Amino acid sequence: MSQSLSLRAGLVSILILLAFIGAWWGATLPTQVDLGDMDPEYAAMMGLDTTQESDIPTPGHIGSAIWTHLSDPFYVKGSNDMGIGIQLAHSLWRVLAGFALAAMVAVPLGFLIGMSPLMHKALDPYIQILKPISPLAWMPLALYIIQDASISSIFVIFICSIWPMMVNTAYGVSSVRDDWLAVAKTLEVGPIKKAFKVILPAAAPTILTGMRISMGIAWLVIVAAEMLVGGTGIGYFIWNEWNNLDLANVIFAILLIGVVGMILDMIFGLLGKVVSYKEV
């Protein structure tokens, strides 16, 4: 039954895709232009034709753009012309670097906040103020202080991924069941062993959820950050193609961002499954 459900769902998905591409194709068909009594030779000289191609790229254009980019993703022809794989690698590197730095700060700090009601109360106002700030608002300050565009975007990723991880870690740590802590106490388990063998595994699913949210936000923010600072990356690629008025490439990049974001989310979903447990 469930197999036939996924089969039917897959079929509906494909139908929706076909309908969408069909509608797109229909909407971007070349239009007939009435040239009136203009001399055809004059019209041709003026670049006018009775059939006018659509400004919006057709599905065919996108298909060929996808093919061009994916058939040679890693070429480098100067600083303004690099393969999509290289751009993507730059973006992923910034996201992973910023994310890893954020995890190194957020998880220990979240532990501290979760274990100590004093630190929770003391740090709460700062977290509440810093959390709602759009990460891009930090960009001018980062650029001025760090004076390096690439490191500044890593900083922006760092600052935006730190909050969900920290808040979730703190929540996970503070809601570890008293029973388990009592077991550790009666067994005279030391603080380090307690942190790694009891609290960490107990809070791991919540921490992983925080990481998953952070990764989602980081991937949203990197595109905007790279549009702003330029140079390399998928965000810069989109902005560059917009300046080239190559909408087919823009649409290709949009699709690619979606696919990569989905894969990143799936990785954290799988990691979350590994550390999850059924409470009884």
Partner 1 sequence: MTTPSFIQVDGLEKTFPGPAGQEPVTVFQNLDFEIEKGEFVCLIGHSGCGKSTILNILAGLDAASDGYVFMENKELTGPGLDRGVVFQGHALMPWLTVRENVAFAVKSRFKRHSKDEVNAQVEKYVDMVGLTPAIDKKPHQLSGGMRQRVGIARAFAIEPKMLLMDEPFGALDALTRGVIQDELLAICQATSQTVFMITHDVDEAILLADKILLMTTGPFAEVAEVAYNPLHKPRSRQEMHHDGHYYPFRNHLMDFLVNGPGTPYSDKATDGTPPALDKAPRTGPRRVVSA
Give the shortest CB-174-to-partner 1 separation in angstroms.
18
Cα-Cα end-to-end distance for the chain:
29
Element (H, E) at 179: helix 178-186
- Residue in 180, 246, 247, 260 binding partner 1, rule: CB under 8 A: 180
* 104 near partner 1, rule: CB under 8 A: no
Q: Is 218 in the site for partner 1 (CB under 8 A)?
A: no
Distance set, CA 199 to CA 98, 109, 182, 205, 206 (Å)? 26, 14, 12, 11, 11
| Residue 24 touching partner 1 (CB under 8 A) | no
* Residue 51 parent element (H or E): strand 51-52
| 186 touches partner 1 by CB under 8 A | yes
* Residue 93 lies near partner 1 (rule: CB under 8 A): no
The CA radius of gyration of the chain, in Å to the nearest whole number, is: 26
Cβ–Cβ under 8 Å, residues 33 and 50: yes
Query: Measured from the CB atom, is 44 or 187 closer to partner 1?
Result: 187
Residue spans of beta strands (DSSP E) within 8-72: 31-32, 51-52
Site for partner 1 contains 81 (CB under 8 A): no
> Which of 2, 39, 47, 278 is close enough to bind partner 1 by CB under 8 A?
278
* Residue 187 in contact with partner 1, rule: CB under 8 A: yes
Instruction: Fill in the amino acid letter for 216.
Output: G
Q: CB-wise, 55 or 179, nearer to partner 1?
A: 179
Q: Where on the chain is the footprint of partner 1 (CB under 8 A)?
A: 177, 179-180, 182-183, 185-189, 197-198, 201-202, 204, 275, 277-280
